[in-house]
Chains A and B, each alone.
Chain A
Amino acid sequence: DGGITQSPKYLFRKEGQNVTLSCEQNLNHDAMYWYRQDPGQGLRLIYYSQIVNDFQKGDIAEGYSVSREKKESFPLTVTSAQKNPTAFYLCASSILPEARTEAFFGQGTRLTVV
């Protein structure tokens, strides 16, 4: 089945550690996005990528890093520089607006710092 897959669903991190969240899509979408969602809050954009080997900072990029070596994959690393990393992380992908705008979301990764 086509779709976007995030893993793991739950992730626990010790303070001071880096962790990487996986996002894979087989929809042949050009654009991919990472969002952070805190309880009762909206989605805040961390990073986004329109094309392989290129990405842009979103509104809250500090303490995060990404790579886009393949069209299908857009992993997010939460570094030790991120002071409050506990949150729900959502990955999305979409065809660029010339075609359609519908962004497909993964089911999210819930990260907890212990």
Chain B
Amino acid sequence: GESVGLHLPTLSVQEGDNSIINCAYSNSASDYFIWYKQESGKGPQFIIDIRSNMDKRQGQRVTVLLNKTVKHLSLQIAATQPGDSAVYFCAEIGGSNYKLTFGKGTLLTVNP
């Protein structure tokens, strides 16, 4: 069945380092993959998305990579800052019903 999951539940990095958060998916029919950031007690915020016909997309300090061969998605955060500490979710949407499905999340902790 459809599933979106994450390899690592927690990630701890030093301020200034680069962070990589990974995600595996199983639905080959998904059209878009999206990364969200959720701070404690708040709703998720959109970070970046990538269409299924792309391999890489860059934003401000973030890069999303899509490897359709192994059904793997990653979010790279450059020069990680304390304000980046949050839970990060990957999500996918696609098929004819536009169902937006989330993975379980990775808690990113940035140490000063």
Partner-B contacts on A (CB < 8 A)? 31, 33, 35, 41-45, 48, 50, 56, 58-59, 90, 92, 94, 96-97, 100-108
Partner-A contacts on B (CB < 8 A)? 31-32, 34, 41-46, 49, 89, 91, 93-94, 97-105
Q: From residue B73, how far is it (CB to closest CB) to chain A in Å?
A: 14
Chain A residues lying within 8 Å of B91, measured Cβ to Cβ, are 103
| Further pairs besides A42-B105, A45-B101, A105-B44: 18, Cβ < 8 Å | A45-B99, A48-B100, A50-B97, A56-B99, A59-B101, A90-B43, A90-B44, A92-B44, A97-B31, A97-B32, A97-B93, A97-B98, A102-B49, A104-B46, A105-B43, A107-B42, A108-B41, A108-B42
**CA gap between A57 and B49 in the complex, in Å:** 25
Q: From residue A107, how far is it (CB to closest CB) to chain B in Å?
A: 5
Chain B residues lying within 8 Å of A107, measured Cβ to Cβ, are 42-43
Chain A residues lying within 8 Å of B45, measured Cβ to Cβ, are 105
**CA gap between A103 and B34 in the complex, in Å:** 9
**CA gap between A56 and B95 in the complex, in Å:** 14
**CA gap between A52 and B62 in the complex, in Å:** 35
Chain A residues lying within 8 Å of B46, measured Cβ to Cβ, are 102-104
Task: Write 13 A-B pairs (CB below 8 A) sorted by A numbering.
Answer: A31-B98, A35-B102, A41-B105, A42-B103, A48-B100, A50-B97, A90-B43, A94-B100, A97-B31, A97-B32, A101-B34, A102-B34, A107-B42
**CA gap between A50 and B95 in the complex, in Å:** 13
**CA gap between A20 and B41 in the complex, in Å:** 20
**CA gap between A35 and B102 in the complex, in Å:** 10
Chain A residues lying within 8 Å of B102, measured Cβ to Cβ, are 35, 42-45
Chain A residues lying within 8 Å of B93, measured Cβ to Cβ, are 97, 101
